[in-house]
Copies of this chain bind each other. A is one copy, B any other.
Amino acid sequence: MEQIRGGVTAAKGFEAAGTAANIKYKDRMDMALIYSSAPCKVAGTFTTNVVKAAPVLWDQEIVKNSPYAQAVIVNAGIANACTGKQGMDYCRGEAQTASGLLNIPENSVLVGSTGVIGMQLPMERINEGIRKLAAAKDGSIEAGTTASRAIMTTDTVNKEIAVTMELEGKTVTIGGMSKGSGMIHPNMCTMLAYITTDAAISKELLQEALSKSIIDSYNMISVDGDTSTNDTCLALANGLAGNAEIKEKGEAYDKFCEALDFVNTYLARKMAGDGEGATALFETTVINAATKQEARILAKSVIGSSLCKAAIYGHDANFGRFLCALGYSGVQFDPEKVELFFESKAGRLLIYKDGAATDYSEEEATKILSEPEVTVLVDMKMGAETATAWGCDLTYDYVKINADYRS
């Protein structure tokens, strides 16, 4: 497996576009299209929130019942959530417009929205946007990058990646783009992730690979503990790489999964580091936990704690907050046995051992915590399982962005 330049247009047969449709933002792109020249197997994972946005309900139906998918239309600015029957009609309207312009079936068009909840989409501008997207789409690397920029809301950087691998003598590519932060605990700005691949793979295995892949990628990030109404991760596979279709588990499936995990973990980590208002990526790795699930719960409890996040922002080695967050996670353990380290490019420091602080240097700890990527490493000494979670620091700007977001 090798990382290459590009994103959703890296795999064969995929085209993309971005445009400014004036949905809510002024003077910036806010709509994107992904299109495949060949019909795609499609898999999806969606928010667990009981309140699901209209595009989530629409996409769930397509993933479940359509024979294939061929396009995704995404808008930023308005989430089309809490919009009742009208919201569902607008999803169908988007699919109809795209269907006519791209000459593909209505039920092969997926839609995605991110932004303010409760507002209705301005359908005239949406349809005009789809017309512009259909006219502008192409298969260049640049078109993929444009699409990844067009789905940003409070994101400060676009997020895309592509990798290739050899499967039985054929070059297979997976590309992806995402915006926002989180899946289990996402930012209200919503996490949207779109994965495109030219691999030939059965729908069942594509779904299984995706469902498994999100557990240790998107599901291990949190910006603010709020699970959005819109979270969506879709994977489209058009089979144009020409590999023998992956229909059962084995070497080819494993290689595909490894590449898919790499892509999803990259995008997830990137989202966490670009959390609203963040100045640092805050990573927590738990080692030697009794079970994998406990390792995950412990790591997520730490990166989800407001007080730990504020300590990272303040470059403050306030290690008690990290112990505290482990302690209320729900996992049982002996605090006397745990060891806690701070780690970054600037070094690695044992902070807590045998139930109390070590004789560490505050100066060195502050230096380590002042890096843009900071890791809290926790050794539970209970078993052999490991998990990593990613979050970001809690800053004035997070409050500013979210107190002012709608106005």
Contact = CB atoms under 8 A, between A and B. Distances in A.
A82 B396 contact: no
Contacts of A26: none
Interface stretch (A159-167, A282-290, A329-337): A329-337
A406 B316 contact: yes
A300 to B, nearest CB: 13
A347 interface: no
Contact of A116 (B79, B320, B407): B320
Interface in A174-210: 188
Nearest to A50: B327
Contacts of A87: 356
A314 B398 CA distance: 12
Interface string A320-343: 110111111101110110000000
A19 interface: no
A1 interface: no
B49 A324 contact: yes
A237 interface: no
B327 A51 contact: yes
Q: How many of these chains are in the complex?
A: 2
A81 interface: yes
Interface string A140-169: 000000000000000000000000000000
Of listed A83, A325, A327, A405, residue having the most chain B CB within 10 A = A327
Interface in A346-360: 352, 354-357
Contacts of A399: 310, 313, 394-396, 398-399
A310 B397 CA distance: 11
A352 B118 contact: yes
Contacts of A188: 307, 321, 324
B313 A403 contact: yes
Given A118-B356, A324-B117, A335 B405 contact: no
A211 interface: no
Interface stretch (A103-111, A220-228, A256-264): A220-228
A333 B50 CA distance: 7
A323 B49 CA distance: 10
Contacts of A310: 398-399, 402-403, 405
B82 A311 contact: no
Contacts of A81: 320, 324
A227 B83 CA distance: 36
A316 B398 CA distance: 16
Nearest to A226: B307
Contacts of A331: 50
19 contacts: A49-B324, A50-B326, A50-B327, A51-B324, A81-B324, A82-B355, A82-B357, A87-B356, A116-B320, A118-B319, A118-B356, A118-B357, A225-B304, A306-B306, A306-B402, A314-B404, A316-B406, A318-B406, A399-B399
* In the complex, the 4 A-B pairs of residues with the closest C-beta atoms, listed nearest first: A117-B320, A51-B327, A314-B403, A310-B402
Interface of A: 48-52, 79, 81-87, 116-119, 188, 224-229, 304-307, 310-311, 313-314, 316, 318-321, 323-329, 331-333, 335-336, 352, 354-357, 394-396, 398-400, 402-407
Given A228-B324, A229-B327, 7 more contacts: A50-B326, A50-B333, A51-B335, A310-B403, A311-B403, A313-B403, A318-B406
